Structure 1
Amino acid sequence: MSQTDTCMSFLWAKKKEQNGQFFWLPLTLHLKDTMGVMDFLWHHWVSEGQKEIIIHALSDTGEEVADTAQRLACFLAGIHDLGKCTPVFQTQKGYQNSPDLDIALLNRLEQAGLTGISSLNLDMAARKRSHHTVTGEYLLQYFGVQQDIASVIGAHHGKPVDKEEIVTKMKRYPRYCFQDETKGPCQRLWLAMQKKLLEGSLEKTGFIDTEGNPTADSLPEISETGQVLLSGLVIMADWIASNEAYFPLIPLEENEPRAIEKRLQHGMMTWREKNPVEATEVMSIPDVGEYYRERFDFPPRPFQQKVFDTIADTANPGIFILEAPMGCGKTEAALTAAEELMAEKQLDGLFFGLPTQATSNGIFPRIEDWFDKFAGAYDKFGIMKLMHGKAALNELQEELVDGVHVDEERESGVLTSQWFAGKKTAILSDAVVGTVDHFLLSALKQKHLALRHLGFSKKVVIIDEVHAYDAYMDVFLSRAVEWMGAYGIPVVLLSATLPKGIREKLIQAYLLGQGKGIRTRDKKKYASIFQSEAYPLLTYTDGGTVRQRRDFTKEEDKCVVVRRLEENHLEEMLETLLANGGVAGIIVNTVGRAQGLFERLVKVFGRDVSLLHAKFIDTDRVTKEKVLMDNIGKDAKRPRRAIVIGTQVLEQSLDIDFDVLITDLCPMDLLLQRVGRLHRHQITRPEGLSIPILYVMGQSDTLSFEEGASAIYGDYLLARTQKLLPKEIFLPRDISPLVQSVYDDTEIHWDEGVKETYKSAKKKHAINIMKKTNTAQNQFLLRKPHLKIKPDKYNLIGWLDTSITFDSEENAFAQVRDAEESIEVIMLMKYGTGYGYFGKKEDISGQVENYKVAKEIAKQTLKLSSSIARFAFGNIQKTIEWLEEYNRENLYSWQQQPWLKGSLGILFEPIDDRKTGRFYLGDVILMYNYDIGLQVFQNNKKKI
């Protein structure tokens, strides 16, 4: 064995000390493991559609290009840790071992010819700027590899370098990479090892010249989209190969495992047993009627049939925007579209995004049922994940964990695996249901973004209730759609009430991602498409062409009578409306207003009044939603009389039915969403409530609107909605015209008394939109995709260039939602010397070690807004610090429990027989009651 080979065999990739024994992983073995994992993933996990994206990103063409793509992926995996073949890495001290292991490894290198490495002194600053990702990228460029491929290596720990100078600056510090500053024996030895690792990977993957010699010149060039997906694949392969459950470290005295020939097979079999993934060739739907009966147990409606026919007839499908009424079957139409699009684009996954955790939870069982049948149709197990902050507490999600939902006799089905359950890896699951934030995050500069893009590139993307997103979120939505366009991933957007400006913007974004866009001269050609007020409506792209389908069968219109209501007449009106019984819904714009109305009306109507909003403990809110569905959901046994007060939570995805609806004024699209809960089902109504009537509160002749509504929506949209709201709404035909009339720029005649007020509101609205857009387009927004192949320009350097790192998922979500930070707390009631749940006389403090009890405690959460934190201690950070100290003193045992570790709990003093609790948080008093939720007081004044 040559000196180079001997010394190279002593290079370590990982090391640790366990029970007094030394373990390590040779660098050459780890690179071999990772290349093997990559080869397995390419053949068993990567979809044919993903392969096509990478293939089209290569400069190579011809019959062998598919083989080139696979070899390139394996080459990158086999060389990803080249930067560990440097003195700056090999002299690093381990965090899981005593100095003896560090010394033993260095002594072997010293004896193999690296004289002086044991005493090489490199300061911490040097190590920080010479991370092995940076040195790896530098060495590849040093040996002639182009920047496009080299930058993938620099990104394999989740973040590419921000600037090219970070890499080129390494030439100033030869000791970091070569030990000697002159061309001495140590430098020659390091160069020989580095070159041999590179050439070995090139040779194994077939990148050789005409004479059979390995050469970097044989590597293809690759565009940015391909670089991103290959970067994600390298991260995935590296994580699997680095997991000791699959690829264990070996005793220090061994230079390779005893059964090295079986190591890869055993490692991947072990991973696959827990993660039975397999890329699936999805077939086109031959008979949509039979398909609907198999998947949904009913035949398709004419509307659903036409949606399917349109998608099936599209030669090169891209983005589809489906605008249709609430309750017409958009979900089933979208799922059918997804399966057909999977077949067309050779994908095998789905992402279904909704506005909130509650709406995601609501649709999860329906998607799970569909995906279970989908997996059964292909005799496979599919990995499915509910993806939001509270997903682990969802009962159905818990059933799927570790295959509990799959019995021994089943050969197919749905499960959630441990490896795919992590926050970074969940998006790699076959089917993901979650909040839209996860899709928006694909346009946010954040570490491991390539892994998120890899997950989305395997899926058809469905986003529901697109109308619910504001100007700030629209910026991230458009950029995310643009990147999906660059990959050619189909996107299906669903909306009941979509402004036509958003329709045009999203179509444009997808086409721009494909490098096409709509040229100025073509805008007139597409004007009728983008300005159309037909309803239902399907607008879509076929290659670079925009098309539209409008010939849907019109549903029979329902006439909703609209009346103005002054709030001071509310009790009197309800007495009249409900004289013969019935269910009245009252939807207002803020929690404070909802609570205030509840306290007013309960004095008159007693227990007939209930309340639902976002300031309830999560478990209480779930219970209340279930009670609501049981009482006024589909096929429910309805109460004789009920008044349900709520906020926007009532307008989203709850299949409930009111006999009469009273609402605060809000923008037209949201108003129509609320109307969707009025006479929703075909049932017999009480006398006097047979006609659907909408009562609107909060209107103002002076355009001076209620403070909360004004703060949330702005006076401009409220004024236009009020002015354009007719006395009768015919649904569904009026939905699109009413929404478009509010959101377009057509002038409205105003009386002299309010003309200036309206102008001021309009100007403020325009400034606010511009401000939100500019804020969203700050350093956090991902740049536009580049499709051209130019290695020295379009590479991953600077792709995630930002000075801010998001230390939590919630913090990242706040960036794409323009939301203030909040503090999630677990809320319990004191019980003697211990504590328990609100309303229950049981001390559970001694049962925290019980898994089920700890998990139930973890569900008792509620978020405290940053405004509460400001009232309490001046800012959110001081409030968190105070809560952390409070928890150390009162709930220290929680930190020993997996479900509770890192959580912040507060214990309320019981009032009124444990139904109400009080907690002093700095300068505010928190009051919680099951009926009314959280209230905040300061100086005897209610703050929310």
Structure 2
Amino acid sequence: MTVDPPDLPDPADGPAHIDLGLWAKERHLRGHRYPYVLHALDATAAALVLWDVVLPSGLKRRIAAGLDADEHGARALVAFWAGCHDIGKLIREFQEQVALDLSAYPGDPHPGDRAGHSFVTHQWLVTALGSLGYNDEDGYTAHLVAQLLGGHHGVYPEPLDEYTTPRFQNGPWQEQRERSTRLVHEAAGSPEPPARFETAVAPLVCGLVILADWLVSQEHFLLDRLRTPPSDGGRPALLAHFRASTSRIIDLVQEAGLRRLTTAPASFAESFPGFTPNGLQDSLARHLPGLCAEGGLVLVTAPPGEGKTEAALHAADLLGNATGHDGRFLALPTMATADQMYGRLKKYAEHRSEVGSPLTLLHSMAWLNPEYAPTDRELARGDDLAPTSWLMKAKRGLLASWSTGTIDQALMAALPSRHNAVRMFGLAGKVVVVDEVHAVDPYMQILLERLLHWLGVYRAPVVLLSATLHHSVANSLVKAYVTGSKGKVKRSAPPFVEKIGYPGWLHVHPGSGEVTSNPEPFATTERAPLKIDLVPIPLRDKRPDREQALRDLLSPLVTESGCAAVICTTVAEAQQTRNLLAAWFDALEDPPELFLLHARFPQDQRTRITAELTRRLGKEGAGDGDRPTRAVIVATQVIEQSLDLDLDLLVTDLAPVGLLLQRAGRCWRHEHLGVVARPAWAREPRMAVLVPQEQQSRGHVPRSWQYVYTPSLLMRTHTLLARRAGAHVRIPEDIQSLVDDLYDDPTLIEDVTADIKRMGEELALRTHGRNAVIPTSREVYGDLSPLTKADFEIGEHFLATRFGADSVRVLCCYRDAHGELWLDEALTRRLPATDHEGRMSGDDLRAVISRTIPLRADRNTQPPLAEANRGPKGWEQNFHLHDLVLLVHPVGHGATGEAVLGDRRLYLHPDNGLEERT
């Protein structure tokens, strides 16, 4: 891999001598200082290398278009600007931070009282760029370039105006700044100022500058370059350093794992050998290539188990190859589903990639996934797709060519948070696939719409996947993308999506906004109609009593064979249900296997349970004979998203109809493959929905269910299903009408007050979302500061990607009779300690974090915590440990007691997970 720096002539009258004593870097350099001008030239070289080696062609075209330049000119411009990012370090306030003889630089020419070097970069460049021809009307380009470079630490400064723009004095400081800038300008290829600079493209340039700076600020690179410093500060020696840095930076890019992962054009059959495409996949493969020459957005709607993931991967390949967007990001609703997708995406990349590149997994617990990052030693095992240690550091994962993670990782780019330019830069060169789009609430929907708007601005292709999406939500998402890609949409324009063909797909052209639905009908996987029974259950003190209903429903399984799931609304109810089934099964001579799955297990235990269930009850288990003869899974909503389970019977609490249909996707999931032997009693796929015993739900919805789901939607669903009077649900024919009717049919209203309350709550969530997101591209003309300026008067929690989902991670540990703390109840492993700097060995850290449990935050988890709930001394200095809440269980006299957290009493049960005791 080679990169050619610009051809540099060697005239004798180049820039005057530059002082190598003025520094830019000194931390961790063993007493050395790295000269400022060398760092500037390194950043310039890094931008050139990144442009040539890392940026996909589609992203380069978009940046060039935003600069109204050809790609060669755009390359030179961004390299020049990258070289100027730290010019604010050439001031007395910065240089005198280390012992330095500044006698040759009398006075302090900086006129302001804020000496942060990023701020000074912004101030100085506003006027200094004028000497290089940046003299357009109102100084727009100079102000924009100065502001984006002033934001290279992640936050854009406020714009300057004629009253706040300082005037720097002439003198030796000014001379050094001018000489360094002109040398960097020459090294970059002496680019002319852009004829036009689109504000919306500035974040992409900023992201590139930040990446260049990060690469060449690594200590090992700086120490290596200091081994052969320039002989003097003259032009020939400095340009020789620039040329030498270029080849070394190519190695840095490789070491960091930033090379592009590319795929050659291939048919669906070539992409998935041995896999015969179904009607949906075949339709996309045949018709999408004729529509996606300019990219655009693709929406795929189909039932669970219809192969949407394979369809999305193939559609992403078609879109990426057509537009030069080599990268991929697959966004999933949860960490568990992202972990599963990582394995699938890696297998696909191994088969499809022409050139390998690290594949990253992005969520807060990704480093605990042994398949992703087993140990530091194994990071260097030579696997082309293995993550590098550089990419696994904070905020860098999206810079990998291919990645998958939770949707939150993408939505953060739509929030005014520090370094959102890095996230947007990481996404803009990719095809972005969002799975389970129906899972977003009204708050997250606004964030997703704003993200889609910016992806449209950057012409990044998008694929949206859903099993149960209301047509109005689909229209809002498509409209958001088109307002970015097309530039403007009239308010009076008709809806882009008036109805959804189900199953089906549609393509949205990024330029015209034209929507093309699948051109012709296609065959779908034959599925037996789903029988939905409403099973009334009594309420005891407004709590659901499931026992008799479950005995009636599960008796055939207990006496014969089969596999079933019982989905409860809350963790506490799932634990109680597991207890009552355990009491029943324990009295049997040959009991069924009993599993429990919810979010309040320790991380490692939940991972083991999930892996066993998907292995034994998924497609693989059915084929290799490991499927249980008789088994019952008790679970919460965690079972409904992206888990490959095939059940003979599904029993579920009442929930909004879209979620019920999503859950139903686990019932007879692989029947079409003919690999599952059904018990005699399971004559058809059946979902039994537990509902209040009264004929109508109004006033009788259990209080616990109302905390999780909007009561009006539960009432509407009850009425909607009751009207069907046991009629079978045809899949896929009836899915979309059920999803749409839940919201659109006014005759479903049981309680007008509850319906009005729901609409008010949804409106409030949308309002919170609009207050949280970054502005649209049209709203940031000439000023980037709103992209990183949050309204902290509203509250910092509004920067969360999920509204009202504040949680803490708790660690259950055990205290012996002597007061010593242990990780396990058997008292075999002590609670690990940190050193004086808060460091802990990798094995110990993994052991601690893998045992943590998410718990909803409340007043008991707010600081200051009780002494017993605080981590050991030193933990507060460790990023992974500082905010853990300890739940200390006393152990003694052969028994384990409860942990106390404020006024709450909790207990980690070996089978039930974390229980709340009353």
Task: Give yes or no for TM over 0.5.
Answer: yes
* Residue 717 of structure 1: aligned partner: 713
Over 3 Å counting, the alpha-carbon distance change for 1:267 and 1:432 in structure 2 is same
- Structure 1 residue 605 and structure 2 residue 593: aligned? no
Amino acid of the structure 1 residue aligned with 2:342: F
Partner residue of 2:91 out of 83, 86, 91: 86
- Deviation per CA, 1:137-171: give whole Å up to 9, x if none: 44446757422222221211111113435x95252
Over 3 Å counting, the alpha-carbon distance change for 1:383 and 1:805 in structure 2 is farther
Distance (Å, rounded) in 2 between the aligned partners of 1:897 and 1:554: 53
* Residue 735 of structure 2: aligned partner: 735
Amino acid of the structure 2 residue aligned with 1:613: H
* Residue 211 of structure 1: aligned partner: none
* Residue 680 of structure 1: aligned partner: 669
- CA RMSD across the alignment: 3.3
Distance (Å, rounded) in 2 between the aligned partners of 1:281 and 1:535: 30
Partner residue of 2:34 out of 25, 31, 37: 25
Distance (Å, rounded) in 1 between the aligned partners of 2:299 and 2:788: 30
Over 3 Å counting, the alpha-carbon distance change for 1:272 and 1:192 in structure 2 is closer
- Deviation per CA, 1:243-266: give whole Å up to 9, x if none: 121122749998679994674146
Per-residue deviation at 1:612? Answer: 1.2
- Structure 1 residue 628 and structure 2 residue 605: aligned? no
Per-residue deviation at 1:556? Answer: 2.3
Distance (Å, rounded) in 2 between the aligned partners of 1:497 and 1:518: 27
Distance (Å, rounded) in 1 between the aligned partners of 2:64 and 2:638: 45
* Residue 54 of structure 1: aligned partner: 63
Partner residue of 1:340 out of 318, 325, 341: 318
- Structure 1 residue 42 and structure 2 residue 51: aligned? yes
Mapped contact 2:812–2:851 kept (Cα < 8 A): yes
Over 3 Å counting, the alpha-carbon distance change for 1:622 and 1:261 in structure 2 is closer
Moved more, 828-837 or 151-160: 828-837
* Residue 5 of structure 2: aligned partner: none
- Structure 1 residue 238 and structure 2 residue 213: aligned? yes
Per-residue deviation at 1:26? Answer: 1.4
Per-residue deviation at 1:369? Answer: 0.7
* Residue 289 of structure 2: aligned partner: 312
- Deviation per CA, 1:439-475: give whole Å up to 9, x if none: 1111111111111111101211011111111000000
Partner residue of 1:782 out of 756, 774, 778: 774
Per-residue deviation at 1:932? Answer: 1.3
Mapped contact 1:786–1:794 kept (Cα < 8 A): no
Alignment map for 1:607-756 (pairs within 5 Å) = 608=592, 609-634=594-619, 635-636=621-622, 637-682=626-671, 683-699=676-692, 700=694, 701-704=696-699, 705-725=701-721, 726=724, 727=726, 728-744=728-744, 746-748=745-747, 754=750
Mapped contact 1:385–1:426 kept (Cα < 8 A): yes
* Residue 485 of structure 2: aligned partner: 514
* Residue 828 of structure 1: aligned partner: 813
Amino acid of the structure 1 residue aligned with 2:277: P
* Residue 278 of structure 1: aligned partner: 259
Distance (Å, rounded) in 2 between the aligned partners of 1:468 and 1:3: 61
Distance (Å, rounded) in 2 between the aligned partners of 1:81 and 1:760: 59
* Residue 843 of structure 2: aligned partner: 852
Alignment partner of 2:367: what SS? helix
* Residue 766 of structure 2: aligned partner: 773
Over 3 Å counting, the alpha-carbon distance change for 1:460 and 1:590 in structure 2 is same
Partner residue of 1:300 out of 277, 285, 297: 277
* Residue 322 of structure 1: aligned partner: 300
Distance (Å, rounded) in 1 between the aligned partners of 2:23 and 2:852: 45
- Deviation per CA, 1:641-692: give whole Å up to 9, x if none: 3322111011111111222211111111101011111122332222322222
Mapped contact 1:401–1:415 kept (Cα < 8 A): no
- Structure 1 residue 436 and structure 2 residue 441: aligned? no
- Deviation per CA, 1:763-808: give whole Å up to 9, x if none: 1111011100111111x311101399xxxx434243322254999x
Unaligned runs of 5+ in 1: 94-101, 179-186, 209-215
Distance (Å, rounded) in 2 between the aligned partners of 1:488 and 1:846: 49
Alignment partner of 1:151: what SS? helix
**The structure with more helix, counted as a fraction of residues:** 1
Distance (Å, rounded) in 2 between the aligned partners of 1:338 and 1:539: 12
Moved more, 314-323 or 635-644: 635-644
Partner residue of 1:154 out of 144, 150, 153: 150
Distance (Å, rounded) in 1 between the aligned partners of 2:775 and 2:604: 40
Distance (Å, rounded) in 2 between the aligned partners of 1:464 and 1:206: 44
* Residue 554 of structure 1: aligned partner: 524
Over 3 Å counting, the alpha-carbon distance change for 1:781 and 1:37 in structure 2 is same
Distance (Å, rounded) in 2 between the aligned partners of 1:150 and 1:571: 67
Partner residue of 1:877 out of 852, 855, 863: 863
- Deviation per CA, 1:881-921: give whole Å up to 9, x if none: 7467x32xxx337679897677554442248967x652122
Mapped contact 1:561–1:693 kept (Cα < 8 A): yes
- Deviation per CA, 1:744-764: give whole Å up to 9, x if none: 2x32166xxx4xxx2111111
Per-residue deviation at 1:239? Answer: 1.1
* Residue 371 of structure 1: aligned partner: 349
* Residue 535 of structure 1: aligned partner: 503
Over 3 Å counting, the alpha-carbon distance change for 1:850 and 1:152 in structure 2 is closer
Over 3 Å counting, the alpha-carbon distance change for 1:195 and 1:772 in structure 2 is same
Mapped contact 1:828–1:860 kept (Cα < 8 A): no
Alignment partner of 2:395: what SS? coil
Distance (Å, rounded) in 2 between the aligned partners of 1:349 and 1:220: 30
- Structure 1 residue 864 and structure 2 residue 834: aligned? no
* Residue 68 of structure 1: aligned partner: 73
Over 3 Å counting, the alpha-carbon distance change for 1:405 and 1:194 in structure 2 is closer
Identity rate of aligned residues, in percent? Answer: 26
Distance (Å, rounded) in 1 between the aligned partners of 2:14 and 2:71: 38
- Deviation per CA, 1:274-296: give whole Å up to 9, x if none: 235434665433x3323321xxx
* Residue 248 of structure 2: aligned partner: 267
- Deviation per CA, 1:684-736: give whole Å up to 9, x if none: 22232222222111345142212222222212211221111232211121111
Mapped contact 2:561–2:630 kept (Cα < 8 A): yes
* Residue 594 of structure 1: aligned partner: 574
* Residue 350 of structure 1: aligned partner: 328
* Residue 184 of structure 2: aligned partner: 201
Distance (Å, rounded) in 2 between the aligned partners of 1:632 and 1:35: 55
Moved more, 395-404 or 464-473: 395-404
Over 3 Å counting, the alpha-carbon distance change for 1:121 and 1:30 in structure 2 is closer
Over 3 Å counting, the alpha-carbon distance change for 1:255 and 1:597 in structure 2 is farther
Distance (Å, rounded) in 1 between the aligned partners of 2:380 and 2:318: 26
Over 3 Å counting, the alpha-carbon distance change for 1:72 and 1:806 in structure 2 is farther
Partner residue of 2:123 out of 117, 130, 135: 135
Alignment partner of 1:554: what SS? coil
Normalising by structure 2, report the TM-score.
Answer: 0.86
Over 3 Å counting, the alpha-carbon distance change for 1:806 and 1:42 in structure 2 is farther
Moved more, 188-197 or 833-842: 833-842
Alignment partner of 1:584: what SS? strand
Per-residue deviation at 1:381? Answer: 2.6
Amino acid of the structure 2 residue aligned with 1:447: R
Amino acid of the structure 2 residue aligned with 1:468: A
Amino acid of the structure 2 residue aligned with 1:339: D
Moved more, 925-934 or 425-434: 925-934
Over 3 Å counting, the alpha-carbon distance change for 1:917 and 1:395 in structure 2 is farther
Distance (Å, rounded) in 2 between the aligned partners of 1:523 and 1:236: 42
Amino acid of the structure 1 residue aligned with 2:521: D
- The number of equivalent residue pairs is 854
- Deviation per CA, 1:188-241: give whole Å up to 9, x if none: 333333333333333443447xxxxxxx7x443211232111110111111111
Alignment partner of 1:447: what SS? coil
Normalising by structure 1, report the TM-score.
Answer: 0.84
Over 3 Å counting, the alpha-carbon distance change for 1:471 and 1:741 in structure 2 is same
* Residue 496 of structure 1: aligned partner: 467
- Deviation per CA, 1:116-139: give whole Å up to 9, x if none: 45xx9999x633598334334444
Per-residue deviation at 1:559? Answer: 1.6
Amino acid of the structure 1 residue aligned with 2:278: R
- Deviation per CA, 1:587-611: give whole Å up to 9, x if none: 1211122122223332222374432
